[in-house]
C-alpha cells in the first residue's frame, strides 16, 4: 500500500482518533445493514418465522433450573432401584443389572455364547465318554448332533428368540461347524473358548489338532481354538504342542485323517516337509518343489522314499505341523497315540523334541 | 477533511475492511448482539405487518438500536485495532 500521497503523518492525534471513530462506526453500520438485508430476505422468502413454535410448546421445553433435576426436568437416579421382570425367565431383576441379565438369559451377548459352549463342552465330555461304547451309534450317525449334545442343544434353542436374525445366523453357524466336526470325529468340542487338553481323549486331541491351532496358553492352560493359521501363535508353537500332546513320532497334521487311509508314510513326509518349511522361516506356501525335493532326499535316509506331491501341497496350505522327524512313520504314530494319556500328565516340554528335528535336517 | 482522507483510505484499506469486518461480525454474533437485534426485528415486523415490511423500515428501526447495543468490550477492541493499523501506516 503506497501511503506517500496520503499525508497521514501530518495529522495529529485528534484527527487520527476521529478517523478511527469514523471507520468504526462505518463498520458497525455495515454489520447492521447486513443483518437488515438478511432479515428482510427471510421475511420475503417466508422462512423468517420458521424456527418459532407456539407458546405452549415453548413452555413445555423451557429450561428447568431446579435442584435435583436436570435441565429437562428428569431425575437422575429415578429408575436405578426399580425392579423389572425378565420376560424370559420371569424373575425380578434390579434395573441396573437388567441388561447384563438379559444378555445371559437370552444367550445373545458377547460372553453368553462362550459360557454356554463351555458348559456344553464339559457336559458333553462327561456324556460322551460314557456313551461312546454304546450301540446307539445309529442314533449318533443319524442325527447331526451326538446324543449328549442334542439335549443341550434343544435346551439352548428354546432359550433363544427364533425370530432374531442374529440368533439364527449363529445357530446355523454352529450347526455347520458341528456337523463338519462330527463327520471327522464323533466327539463334540467347542471352538469359541479354549479347551483344556487334559480332559480330552487322544482321538479328540488328534482331531482337534488337525483343525485348530491348539497352542496351549501359558495363562489358562487351554488350547487355542483358532484356525491353523491363527496369527497369535507361530507354527513352531503349534508343532511343539503337537509333539507334546501326541508324541514326537505322531503325525497330527490336518490331513492326517485322510492320509492315514492312503499311506502311512505320507504323514511323516509332510512332517519333515513342514518342519523344513518352518526352519526356512516361511510358514506359508513356499515353493513346494524345493520343499518336496528336500524332503525326499531326507527321507531316503530313514525310510522308503515315498514322495507324493499332492499331499505335500495339501500340507503346505496349513500352517503348523507335528514335530518329529521320520522315525517310524504313520503306523507308529497310531501306537504312540495310545500312550498319550501318560504324556499328557507331564509338564509342558516343547523344547526337547526340537533338536532332534534339526539333527535330521542337518 | 476527514472525509477526504477517509476516501483515500477506503481504496487502500480493502484489507482492513475485509479483515475487520469479519472480526466484528464474529464478535457481535458471539456476544449475542445479533440475536438481540433479530428479536427486535421480529417486533418491528409484527408491528408493520409481515407482508408490507420494507428494507427501509428495518434499516430505520434497526440501525440506531444496533449501534447502541454493541458491547463496550467489542467497541474498545475494534477501535484499538483500527488505531494500531493507522499508526502502522502513518509513517
Q: Using an 8 Å CB-CB cutoff, list chain A residues near B38.
A: 35, 39
Which residue in A9, A22, A30 is closest to B2 by CB distance?
A: A22
Which residue in A9, A31, A49 is closest to B90 by CB distance?
A: A9
Residues B59 and B40 sit within 8 Å (Cβ to Cβ): no
Question: Which residue in the block uniquely carries the three cell numbers 505335500?
Answer: A312
- Distance from the Cα of residue B55 to its chain's centroid: 17
Please check the confidence at residue B8 and state whether its pLDDT lies above 50.
yes
Q: Using an 8 Å CB-CB cutoff, list chain B residues near A16.
A: 83, 86-87, 90
Please check the confidence at residue B87 and state whether its pLDDT lies above 50.
yes
Say how far apart CA A38 and CA B22 lie, in whole Å.
Answer: 16
- Chain B interface, best mutation among A30, A31, A46, A58, by max B CB count within 10 A: A31
> In terms of CA atoms, which chain B residue is nearest residue A46?
B50
- Enumerate the β-bridge partners of residue A69: A75
Beta carbons of B66 and A27 less than 8 Å apart: no
Residue that wins the pLDDT comparison between A130 and B50: B50
Beta carbons of B24 and A27 less than 8 Å apart: yes
Cell of B81: 485495532
Contacts 24+ apart (CB under 8 A), A108-117: A108/A160, A108/A161, A108/A164, A108/A166, A108/A167, A113/A170, A113/A192, A114/A192, A114/A193, A116/A156, A117/A190, A117/A191, A117/A192, A117/A193
Beta carbons of A23 and B6 less than 8 Å apart: yes
pTM (predicted TM-score): 0.36
Residue A255 has a pLDDT of 44
pLDDT tens track for A46-58: 888 887 777 777 7
Residue B77 has a pLDDT of 92
Say how far apart CA A167 and CA A188 lie, in whole Å.
Answer: 21
Residue A68 has a pLDDT of 77
The CA-based angle A114-A116-A117, given to 5 degrees, is 65
Which residue in A19, A22, A35 is closest to B62 by CB distance?
A: A35
Please check the confidence at residue B53 and state whether its pLDDT lies above 80.
yes
Say how far apart CA A125 and CA A21 lie, in whole Å.
Answer: 92
Say how far apart CA A296 and CA A278 lie, in whole Å.
Answer: 17
Measure Cα distances from B49 to A43, A44, B62 in Å. 10, 12, 16
Residues A180 and A220 sit within 8 Å (Cβ to Cβ): no
Residues A343 and A244 sit within 8 Å (Cβ to Cβ): yes
> In terms of CA atoms, which chain A residue is nearest residue B89?
A3
Please check the confidence at residue B85 and state whether its pLDDT lies above 50.
yes
> In terms of CA atoms, which chain B residue is nearest residue A43?
B50
The dihedrals phi and psi of A213, each to the nearest 5 degrees, come to -65, -55
Burial (CB count within 10 angstroms: exposed 0-12, middle 13-18, buried 19+), residue A15: middle
Say how far apart CA A317 and CA A205 lie, in whole Å.
Answer: 21
**B63: closest CA of chain A, how far (Å):** 6
Beta carbons of A29 and B9 less than 8 Å apart: no
Average pLDDT over residues B12-31: 81
Residues B35 and B89 sit within 8 Å (Cβ to Cβ): no
What is the full DSSP assignment across A52-111?
---HHHHHHTPPP--TTB-TTS-BTTTTTT-EEE-TTT--EEEGGGHHHHHHHHHT-STT
> Element (H or E) spanning A222, and its range?
strand A222-223
B18 touches chain A (CB under 8 A): no
Is ipTM strictly over 0.95? no
The CA-based angle A273-A274-A279, given to 5 degrees, is 100
Please report how many Cα atoms fall inside a 13 Å half-sphere around the Cα of residue B81, on the Cβ side: 16
> In terms of CA atoms, which chain A residue is nearest residue B20?
A27
Q: Using an 8 Å CB-CB cutoff, list chain A residues near B79.
A: 20-21, 24
| List of chain A residues with pLDDT < 50 | 1-5, 132, 135-137, 139-140, 143, 146-150, 152-153, 157-161, 164-193, 251-264, 266, 280-354, 362
Which residue in B66, B82, B90 is closest to A32 by CB distance?
A: B66
B81 touches chain A (CB under 8 A): no
SS3 A341: helix
Residue A235 has a pLDDT of 86
Beta carbons of A31 and B12 less than 8 Å apart: no
Say how far apart CA A337 and CA A250 lie, in whole Å.
Answer: 7
pLDDT tens track for A80-139: 778 888 888 888 888 888 888 888 888 777 877 788 888 888 888 887 655 545 544 454
**B2: closest CA of chain A, how far (Å):** 7
Residue A275 has a pLDDT of 53
Beta carbons of A33 and B90 less than 8 Å apart: no
Amino acid at each position: 500500500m503506497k501511503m506517500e500521497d496520503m499525508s497521514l503523518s501530518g495529522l495529529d492525534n485528534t484527527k487520527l482518533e476521529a478517523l478511527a471513530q469514523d471507520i468504526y462506526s462505518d463498520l458497525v453500520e455495515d454489520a447492521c445493514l447486513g443483518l437488515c438485508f438478511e432479515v428482510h430476505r427471510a421475511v420475503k422468502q417466508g422462512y423468517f418465522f420458521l424456527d418459532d413454535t407456539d407458546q405452549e410448546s415453548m413452555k413445555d421445553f423451557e429450561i428447568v433450573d431446579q435442584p435435583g433435576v436436570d435441565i429437562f426436568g428428569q431425575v437422575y437416579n429415578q429408575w436405578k432401584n426399580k425392579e423389572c421382570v425378565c420376560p424370559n425367565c420371569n424373575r425380578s431383576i434390579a434395573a441396573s443389572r437388567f441388561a447384563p441379565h438379559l444378555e445371559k438369559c437370552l444367550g445373545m451377548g458377547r460372553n453368553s455364547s462362550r459360557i454356554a459352549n463351555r458348559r456344553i463342552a464339559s457336559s458333553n465330555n462327561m456324556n460322551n465318554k460314557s456313551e461312546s461304547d454304546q450301540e446307539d451309534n445309529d442314533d449318533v450317525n443319524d442325527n447331526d448332533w451326538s446324543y449328549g449334545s442334542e439335549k443341550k442343544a434343544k435346551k439352548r434353542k428354546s432359550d433363544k428368540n427364533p425370530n432374531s436374525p442374529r440368533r439364527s445366523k449363529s445357530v446355523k453357524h454352529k450347526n455347520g461347524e458341528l456337523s463338519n466336526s462330527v463327520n471327522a470325529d464323533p466327539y463334540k468340542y467347542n471352538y469359541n473358548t479354549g479347551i483344556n487338553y487334559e480332559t480330552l481323549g487322544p482321538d479328540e486331541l488328534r482331531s482337534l489338532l488337525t483343525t485348530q491351532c491348539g497352542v496351549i496358553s501359558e495363562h489358562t492352560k487351554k488350547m487355542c481354538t483358532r484356525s491353523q493359521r491363527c496369527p497369535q501363535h507361530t507354527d513352531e508353537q503349534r508343532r511343539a504342542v503337537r509333539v507334546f500332546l501326541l508324541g514326537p513320532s505322531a503325525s497330527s497334521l490336518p490331513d492326517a485323517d485322510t492320509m492315514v487311509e492312503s499311506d502311512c508314510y505320507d504323514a511323516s513326509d509332510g512332517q519333515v516337509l513342514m518342519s523344513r518349511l518352518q526352519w526356512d522361516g516361511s510358514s506359508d506356501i513356499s515353493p513346494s518343489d524345493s520343499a518336496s525335493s528336500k524332503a525326499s532326499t531326507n527321507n531316503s535316509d530313514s525310510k522308503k522314499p515315498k514322495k507324493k506331491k499332492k499331499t505335500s501341497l495339501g500340507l503346505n496350505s496349513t500352517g503348523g505341523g507335528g514335530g518329529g522327524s521320520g522315525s517310524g512313520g504313520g503306523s507308529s504314530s497310531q501306537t504312540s497315540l495310545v500312550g498319550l494319556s501318560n504324556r499328557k500328565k507331564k509338564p509342558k516340554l516343547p523344547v526337547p523334541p526340537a533338536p532332534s528335528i534339526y539333527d535330521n535336517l542337518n | 477533511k476527514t472525509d477526504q482522507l477517509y476516501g483515500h483510505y477506503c481504496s487502500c484499506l480493502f484489507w482492513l475492511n475485509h479483515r475487520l469486518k469479519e472480526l466484528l461480525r464474529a464478535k457481535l454474533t458471539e456476544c449475542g448482539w445479533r440475536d438481540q437485534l433479530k428479536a427486535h426485528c421480529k417486533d418491528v415486523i409484527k408491528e408493520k405487518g409481515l407482508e408490507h415490511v420494507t428494507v427501509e423500515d428495518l434499516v430505520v428501526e434497526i440501525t440506531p438500536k444496533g449501534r447502541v447495543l454493541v458491547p463496550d468490550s467489542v467497541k474498545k477492541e475494534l477501535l484499538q485495532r483500527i488505531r494500531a493499523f493507522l499508526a502502522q501506516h502513518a509513517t
